[in-house]
Amino acid sequence: MDKDCAHSSRTRIISLMSASAPMDRVLVKGWIRTVRHGKDITFMAVNDGSCLASLQVVFTPDVADYERVSKAGTGACIAATGALVESPARGQKWELQAENIKIVGDAGTDYPLQKKRHSFEYLRTIAHLRPRSNTFGAVFRMRSALSFAIHSFFQERGFLYLHSPILTTNDCEGAGDIFTVTTLDISDPPVKDGNIDWSRDFFGAKTGLTVSGQLEGEIFASAFSDIYTFGPTFRAEDSNTRRHAAEFWMVEPEMAFADLEENCRLAEDFFRYLCCYALDNCREDLAFFDRWIEQGLMKRLEKIAAGRFETMTYTEAIRLLRDSGEPFEFPVEWGHDLQTEHERYLTEKVTGGPLFVVDYPASLKAFYMRMNSDGRTVAAMDLLVPHVGEIIGGSQREERLDVLTGRMEAKGMDTESLWWFLDLRRWGTCPHSGFGLGFERTIMYVTGMKNIRDVIPFPRTPGNAVF
């Protein structure tokens, strides 16, 4: 094999950017971002995704195969060998004086990702190329870094990582937003008593993609005390908003022996940890977002690192909204869900930062949340943040068998199919709590990106699963 083609012999651009001394001979591989021809000298900006910055590769007509190399344009993949020297240009410490450049893969002048600033809408139509742009490079490096931070946070605290199943027969949230998975012939399914006979399907029961790993999380918390899940989650909600996706990633910790207050503390520490992790480890990309996506972003994150999150009950929130005199579009009434405009008012005008809203009306929340002593509210918590809205939803769980069974019956649920969930309350039940953090919404918060479609590699939304 050609030595210069070996993966191990190349140096990543990120290492060269932080070099402490010139180097006689390095091999760099990457994709051309821009080419500028001067008199007898050509400058190529080459990026390999290892960092935001591109390396300036400089060459003269003396370079081997000059005719061909000088024609390489934006998008082409190249391998360049030469000396790393101090750059006389402003804004960059090093450049590569190339002796030899090979074109690994050419790109024609119709390459769709030219230097000009493209709209995010356009870039979504070329999701196979957008990772090569500055913004999406930064977004997906951040996504990778924060994924690692999630594991660090929980592993440092002794939580067990649970792989909850993706295929499941339970609808944890009871919202009916499940994608069905079947091997039945949908043009001619078996029918019994006028309904599809799911007992003849692959799993012998109606099965779908998980909407949450919580119920399995409760099983494992009842054995390992502290656990977390982190994986893909699916919801067939037909809501075409900038913060809903049909496939998104959720982090769900579950703690035995924890009440709502301890649950909020974990959520606060966790969210702060992720913001601090980005500030400490992703400076270059954050500075980019601060400049091009949301001015003041880094200050906002630093504020999170330093401040404490506020808490108010749902009932207090309703009172505040009512007394605000704001002309809300949706009515503010006890028993109604908080709408985006209400969440925005509370976090942007009242607290100016993250806010826990706790103790929601039982009628608004899922069956598993613990009933409070007032008999009308449950020990729920949502963490709301400015601009993104709800980022975390969680609760203390109902650990009392009789109360839980009563709530399921009142909601018209089939207690039979969740027999194992009820068993947890029969044998060694204990108070426990947990929450789910929407990973994409967290990335939106940390990067300032405004649309969930732009923080997940291949967004799945109504009408779109192309790539």
Each residue 113-142 as x (binds ligand 4AD by CB under 6 A) or -, in order, gives: ------------------------------
Between residue 182 and residue 241, which ones bind ligand 4AD under the rule CB under 6 A?
Answer: 212, 214, 235, 237
Of 389, 441, 383, which is closest to residue 263 (Cα–Cα)?
383
As given in the structure block, the two tokens for residue 325 are 């005199």
Cα 453 from Cα 248, distance rounded (Å): 10
Task: Find the largest Cα–Cα distance for the chain.
Answer: 84
Could you tell me the smallest distance in angstroms from the CB atom of residue 394 to Mg ion? Answer: 8
For ligand 4AD, the closer CB: 79 or 245: 245
For ligand 4AD, the closer CB: 208 or 438: 438
Write down the residue that tokens 């005719």 correspond to: 67
Q: Report the run of H or E that residue 255 belongs to, with start and end.
A: strand 247-256
By a kind-dependent CB cut-off of 5 to 8 A, residue 137 interacts, out of Mg ion, ligand 4AD, none, with none
Residue 459 binding ligand 4AD, by CB under 6 A? no
Residue 75 binding ligand 4AD, by CB under 6 A? no
Q: Residue 371: how many CB atoms within 10 A of its CB?
A: 18
For Mg ion, the closer CB: 282 or 380: 380
How far CA 425 is from CA of 17, 257, 419, 431, in Å, comes to 57, 14, 10, 10
Residue 394 binding ligand 4AD, by CB under 6 A? yes
Could you tell me the smallest distance in angstroms from the CB atom of residue 214 to ligand 4AD? Answer: 4
Between residue 391 and residue 410, which ones bind Mg ion under the rule CB under 5 A?
Answer: 393
Of 465, 451, 453, 440, which is closest to residue 143 (Cα–Cα)?
440
By a kind-dependent CB cut-off of 5 to 8 A, residue 435 interacts, out of ligand 4AD, Mg ion, none, with ligand 4AD
Residue 250 binding ligand 4AD, by CB under 6 A? yes
For ligand 4AD, the binding residue among 173, 201, 226, 285 (CB under 6 A) is 173
Of 235, 229, 179, 231, which is closest to residue 207 (Cα–Cα)?
179
Between residue 408 and residue 437, which ones bind ligand 4AD under the rule CB under 6 A?
Answer: 434-436
Cα 337 from Cα 330, distance rounded (Å): 10
For ligand 4AD, the closer CB: 438 or 448: 438
Could you tell me the smallest distance in angstroms from the CB atom of residue 172 to ligand 4AD? Answer: 5
The residues, ordered by sequence, that sit 6+ positions from 349 with a Cβ below 8 Å of its Cβ are 324
Stretch binding Mg ion (CB under 5 A), from 43-51, 108-116, 369-377, 389-397: 389-397
By a kind-dependent CB cut-off of 5 to 8 A, residue 347 interacts, out of Mg ion, ligand 4AD, none, with none
How far CA 67 is from CA of 44, 63, 70, 72, in Å, comes to 15, 9, 6, 10
Q: Are 353 and 347 in contact (CB under 8 A)?
A: yes
Residues engaged in binding ligand 4AD (CB under 6 A): 172-173, 212, 214, 235, 237, 244-245, 248, 250, 252, 390-394, 434-436, 438, 440-441, 452
